[in-house]
Amino acid sequence: MRARRYSIQATRLLRREGYESYKRVTEWPLGLAVSFAGAYHGFVACSRIVVTSVILLAGAALLACAEAEKTPPASPTMTSLPSAPTAAARTPTVDSASPSPTTTAASGRERVLVTRVIDGDTVVIDGGARVRYIGIDTPEDTNTKECFGDRATERNLALVEGRFVELERDVSETDRFGRLLRYVWVDGLLVNEQLVAEGYAFASTYPPDVKHQQRFLNAQSAAREAGLGLWAVCVDDAPPPGDSDDCDPSYPDVCIPPPPPDLNCPDVPYFNIRVLPPDPHSLDGNTDGVGCVG
């Protein structure tokens, strides 16, 4: 009886041990299969994410390319070199509509408005200053009436009155009467020279302002030879000494201003000058009546 009980217990033990062994044997492949299935599903999920990301990136790239094709490429800009000024650009012009009468013009000239003409070689500009034309002298038409003086004044009126002109300075700022000494330009025309060329004025240089002296002398020679203006009516052959207010009487045949400043022969554009006492510039060193012998 006891032996049978032991036998039954042994059988039960063997069955239990066999089941545990069987369980251990069957659980390992099942776990491996479960792990493999989980890994597979994880791989599939990751693959889907990667593929989706690649598709999205590719779509974005395609859209960017499409937008780039729609946008026209910017044309390269070329910086052009400054062209040489034309003749029109080099020629100063007068704009009567200019809002500022004191605008600095080309070549250091000053643009001003002429408000009144006094005579053939003197004008008044906006602000009240008087301007005396450099290098020329016209017959008097104010206190003293000289031959062709009224016509010189009329010509100067036609050239500059009520217009913007450009004033060019030489060496001196003013004369001894406080008048501005200037060359006057209008529409590219040097008015000083034009008055001489048309026979309304004499070339009369006032040292040291001799910048355009040769131009005036050339214009005077041409006008004299052609018998223009005052050369046909008022004089025989030689110009007068000039404006008596600006010329020292010690040098009656030419126009040399009285001192100051004191002038020497190199400062005077004349030779073999007739000199009368008191000779304030001491141009006649040996007192023989002839100065600056050339």
What residues act catalytically? 132, 140, 179
Tokens at 277, concatenated: 């006492």
The three-state secondary structure class of 131 is strand
The secondary structure element, H or E, covering residue 118 is strand 110-119
CA-CA distance, 12 to 252, in Å (whole number)? 164
279 touches 258 (CB < 8 A) = no
Q: Please name the residue that has the structure tokens 């501005």.
A: 180
User: Which ranges of the chain does DSSP label H, i.e. alpha helix?
Assistant: 2-70, 87-90, 149-160, 191-197, 213-226, 230-233
Q: What is the secondary structure of 179-231 as a DSSP string?
A: PEEEEEEETTEEHHHHHHHTTSSEE--BTTB-TTHHHHHHHHHHHHHHT-THH
